C-alpha cells in the first residue's frame, strides 16, 4: 500500500485520493496563456507540484512528488505553503 | 520456395547470418538521423531506405533495439476509432499489417481474428453505433452486435445476466488482430540494415546543435554527428528529447501496466475488451493470456508495477472469464506512455525546419507502426506532409482543432 499524507487527515492509502494534475504556471484567465494552461502541462523527470484531493473528506491540497522515484516529498494546503 | 527450402535443409554446411548487424562507429554525418530504435523509427528507416532510396541513415537507440514501448505494448491492431481522420489513418495501418509478413519476408505472426468490445450499458451501446457508422463510412469492417452474437463469438464469456456488468451487446471489429511486436521491429530493422541503414544501439542523444531554425548536429554519448533531417520517435521520452531541441510538446507521461498468464490451450479466439471493467484480453499464439487495462492514476516516469493495478486487471479478467481463477501469472511489466490531451498522436512538422515528430503515441502506438513509418518516411523524403497526416499536426492545439479519440479504446480512458 502506498501512503499519501493528507494535510488534514494524516497518512492514508493513496487509493483514497484523486489525482488532479500538475499545478500549472500559466493562467487560464490570461487569454495569451490559455492554450499553455489547457494543453501544455508540466511533465518533468524530477520533482513536480501537483493537485490532489482526499476524496472522503474533500480536502484539496498540493503535493510535491518526484516523477521518477515516485517519492512524495511534501504535502500542504494551498493556503499554507511551507517556507 | 519448397524446393529451395529442401535444398537448404539438405545442405551440409549452413552459413550463419545476423538479422541485425553489430553497432558500427558513428559517422560524421548522415542524411537522416532517426532518434529512437523502436518499431516506429525502424519502420521509417525501412521505408526511407527501401522505398525512397535514402540510404545514409542512422537509427539511434538509447537502450537495445525495440526494448521500449515496442516491447511493452499488448499488440492490439485495429481501426475502430471515432473520427474520420483517425479511422482513415489506422485503416491504412491495418492493411499494411495484412501483407507485412510477405512484404518483409519475415513472419510477424499477424492474426486477424477480430476484436469484440463489450457494452454493459445503453450509453456505451449508443457510442458503439456512432463508431460503427463512422467505421462503415470509411470502409472498415465494424458492426454493433447483440448478446446472441456475442455468445457465438466468445462462448466462454461470462455475460453476467442480471448482474452489475451484464453484457447487453458489443462492437465487433472483424479487421482487428494481433501480431508479434518483436518480429515487426526486427523485420523492419533487418531490411533497413540490408540497405545500408546503421542501427546504433546503446547510443543516447544528449543534446542538439542548432543554427537558426535547423538542427545541424546531434550530440550522443558516442560522439557527435551532423544530420540533414531528423525524425524523433522516442515513446515515453518524447517530451524530454523534444525539449533538448527547444520544442515544447503537450505531453504527460503515465505508466501503463500489463501482464500475461501461464500458457493455456487455445480457448480465446478473438480479442475481447470491456470499457466498464477497464480490461482487455487476448490469447497469444504461445497460449499465454495477455491482460491489459487502464493507465496508472497519476503521472510517473517509472516502469515499476503496483499491486493495485495488477489486482484491478485480474479482477476484470476474472469477471469476464471466471474459470481463469487458478491460472498463474507468468510475467508483468509497465511502459511509459506519452499521452496527448486529445488521445491522438502528433505527427509531421515541428517548429524546426528539418526536425520531424512522430510523438504522443500514448497507449495506442503499436498498431500504427507500419503506417506511421511509411507516412513519416514519405514526409521526410518529400519535405511535404501528406494529407492523411495533416490532422495530426502539432499546431492543432493552438487552433483548438483537436482530434478527440478519448474513449476509442477499451483500455485506459
Give residue limits of the domains in chain B: 21-111+176-250+341-413, 115-174, 252-339
Query: B304 touching A, CB under 8 A?
Result: yes
**pLDDT band (50, 70, 90) for residue A25:** confident
Give the helix/strand (H/E) hosting B296.
none
Query: What pLDDT score was predicted for residue B413?
Result: 45
Q: How many helices (H) and strands (E) does chain B have?
A: 11, 18
Long-range contacts of B134-140 (CB under 8 A, 24+ apart): B134/B81, B134/B82, B134/B83, B134/B84, B134/B87, B135/B79, B135/B80, B135/B81, B135/B87, B135/B173, B137/B84, B138/B84, B138/B87, B138/B88, B138/B91, B139/B91, B140/B79, B140/B80, B140/B87, B140/B91, B140/B94, B140/B173, B140/B175
- The region that residue A21 occupies, defined by phi over 0 for left and psi between -120 and 50 for alpha, beta otherwise, is left
d(CA B244, CA B261): 40
Same fold yes or no, B115-174 and B252-339 = yes
B279-283/B355-359 β-pairing:
unpaired
> What architecture does CATH give domain B115-174?
2-Layer Sandwich (3.30)
**pLDDT band (50, 70, 90) for residue A82:** low
From residue B298, alpha-carbon distances to A15, B3, B183, B332 in Å are: 11, 57, 32, 19
Give me the count of residues in chain A.
Answer: 83
d(CA B107, CA B100): 8
Q: Residue A50: its chain B contacts at CB < 8 A? A: 298-299
**In Å, how far from its chain's centre is CA B324?**
27
Render B84-114 in DSSP notation, one character per residue: HHHHHHHHHHHHHHHTHHHHHTS----B---
Query: What pLDDT score was predicted for residue B11?
Result: 86
Coil, strand or helix at B329: strand
Q: Is 80 exceeded by the pLDDT of residue A7? A: yes
CB contact under 8 A, B299 and A50: yes
State the count of interchain CB pairs (< 8 A) between A and B. Answer: 44
Q: How far is B357 from chain A (nearest CA, A)?
A: 17
CB contact under 8 A, A45 and B398: no
Domain range for A35 is 3-80
CB contact under 8 A, A67 and B299: yes
Coil, strand or helix at B137: helix
Q: Residue A38: its chain B contacts at CB < 8 A? A: 341
A59: domain CATH number is: 3.30.2270.10
With a cut of 50, which residues of chain B have pLDDT below it?
412-413
ipTM attached to this prediction: 0.94
Closest CA to B184 of B106, B260, B268: B106
Cell of B387: 494529407
Task: For residue range A29-63, list pLDDT tens digits in order.
Answer: 888 899 999 999 999 999 999 999 999 999 999 99
Query: What pLDDT score was predicted for residue B5?
Result: 84
Q: Is 70 exceeded by the pLDDT of residue A4? A: yes
CB contact under 8 A, B398 and A35: yes
From residue B119, alpha-carbon distances to B83, B169, B171, B293, B312 in Å are: 20, 5, 8, 16, 19
Question: How many distinct structural domains can be found in chain A?
Answer: 1
From residue B82, alpha-carbon distances to B128, B337, B387, B408 in Å are: 9, 21, 18, 6
Q: Residue A19: its chain B contacts at CB < 8 A? A: 297-299
Query: What pLDDT score was predicted for residue A27?
Result: 84
- B252-339 CATH, one of 3.30.9.10, 3.90.190.20, 3.40.50.720, 3.30.70.3340: 3.30.9.10
Cell of B408: 476509442
Query: B231 forms bridges with which residues in the sheet?
Result: B34, B356
> What architecture does CATH give domain B21-111+176-250+341-413?
3-Layer(bba) Sandwich (3.50)
By Cβ distance, the residue of A39, A41, A67 closest to B300 is A67
Query: A31 touching B, CB under 8 A?
Result: no
pTM of the model: 0.95
Amino acid at each position: 500500500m502506498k501512503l499519501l499524507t493528507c494535510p488534514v487527515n494524516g497518512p492514508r492509502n493513496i487509493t483514497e485520493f484523486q489525482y488532479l494534475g500538475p499545478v500549472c504556471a500559466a493562467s487560464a484567465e490570461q487569454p495569451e496563456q490559455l492554450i499553455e494552461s489547457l494543453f501544455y502541462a508540466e511533465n518533468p523527470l524530477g520533482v513536480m507540484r501537483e493537485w490532489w484531493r482526499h476524496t472522503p473528506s474533500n480536502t484539496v491540497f498540493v503535493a510535491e512528488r518526484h516523477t521518477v522515484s515516485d517519492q512524495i516529498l511534501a504535502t500542504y494546503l494551498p493556503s499554507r505553503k511551507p517556507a | 520456395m519448397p524446393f529451395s527450402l529442401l535444398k537448404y535443409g539438405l545442405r551440409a554446411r549452413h552459413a550463419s547470418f545476423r538479422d541485425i548487424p553489430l553497432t558500427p562507429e558513428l559517422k560524421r554525418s548522415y542524411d537522416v538521423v532517426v532518434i529512437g530504435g523502436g518499431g516506429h523509427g525502424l519502420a521509417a528507416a525501412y521505408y526511407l531506405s527501401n522505398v525512397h532510396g535514402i540510404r545514409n541513415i542512422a537509427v539511434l537507440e538509447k537502450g537495445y533495439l525495440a526494448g521500449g514501448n515496442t516491447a511493452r505494448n499488448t499488440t492490439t491492431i485495429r481501426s475502430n476509432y471515432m473520427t474520420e481522420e483517425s479511422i482513415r489513418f489506422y485503416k491504412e495501418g491495418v492493411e499494411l499489417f495484412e501483407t507485412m509478413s510477405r512484404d518483409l519476408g519475415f513472419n510477424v505472426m499477424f492474426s486477424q481474428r477480430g476484436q469484440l468490445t463489450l457494452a454493459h450499458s445503453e450509453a456505451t451501446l449508443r457510442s458503439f453505433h456512432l463508431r460503427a457508422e463512422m467505421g462503415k463510412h470509411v470502409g472498415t469492417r465494424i458492426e454493433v452486435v447483440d448478446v446472441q452474437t456475442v455468445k457465438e463469438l466468445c462462448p466462454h464469456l461470462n455475460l453476467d445476466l442480471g448482474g452489475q456488468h451484464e453484457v447487453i451487446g458489443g462492437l465487433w471489429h472483424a479487421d482487428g488482430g494481433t501480431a508479434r511486436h518483436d518480429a515487426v521491429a526486427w523485420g523492419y530493422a533487418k531490411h533497413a540494415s540490408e540497405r545500408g541503414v546503421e542501427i546504433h544501439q546503446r547510443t543516447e542523444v544528449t543534446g542538439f546543435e542548432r543554427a537558426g531554425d535547423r538542427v545541424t548536429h546531434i550530440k550522443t554519448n558516442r560522439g557527435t554527428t551532423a544530420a540533414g533531417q531528423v525524425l524523433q520517435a522516442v515513446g515515453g521520452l518524447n517530451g524530454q528529447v523534444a525539449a533538448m531541441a527547444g520544442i515544447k510538446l503537450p505531453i504527460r507521461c503515465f505508466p501503463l501496466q500489463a501482464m500475461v498468464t501461464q500458457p493455456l490451450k487455445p480457448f480465446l479466439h478473438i480479442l475481447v475488451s470491456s470499457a466498464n471493467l477497464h480490461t482487455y484480453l487476448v490469447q497469444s499464439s504461445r497460449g499465454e493470456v495477455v491482460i491489459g487495462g487502464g493507465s496508472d492514476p497519476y503521472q510517473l516516469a517509472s516502469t515499476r508495477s503496483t499491486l493495485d493495478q495488477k489486482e484491478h486487471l485480474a479482477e476484470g479478467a476474472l469477471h469476464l472469464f471466471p474459470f481463469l481463477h487458478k491460472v498463474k501469472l507468468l510475467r508483468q511489466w509497465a511502459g511509459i506512455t506519452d499521452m496527448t490531451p486529445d488521445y491522438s498522436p502528433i505527427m509531421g512538422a515541428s517548429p524546426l525546419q528539418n526536425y520531424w515528430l512522430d510523438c504522443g503515441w500514448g497507449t495506442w502506438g503499436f498498431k500504427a507502426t507500419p503506417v506511421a513509418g511509411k507516412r513519416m518516411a514519405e514526409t521526410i523524403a518529400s519535405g511535404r506532409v501528406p494529407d492523411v497526416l495533416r490532422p495530426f499536426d502539432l499546431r492543432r492545439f493552438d487552433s483548438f482543432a483537436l482530434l478527440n479519440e478519448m474513449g476509442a479504446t477499451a483500455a485506459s480512458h
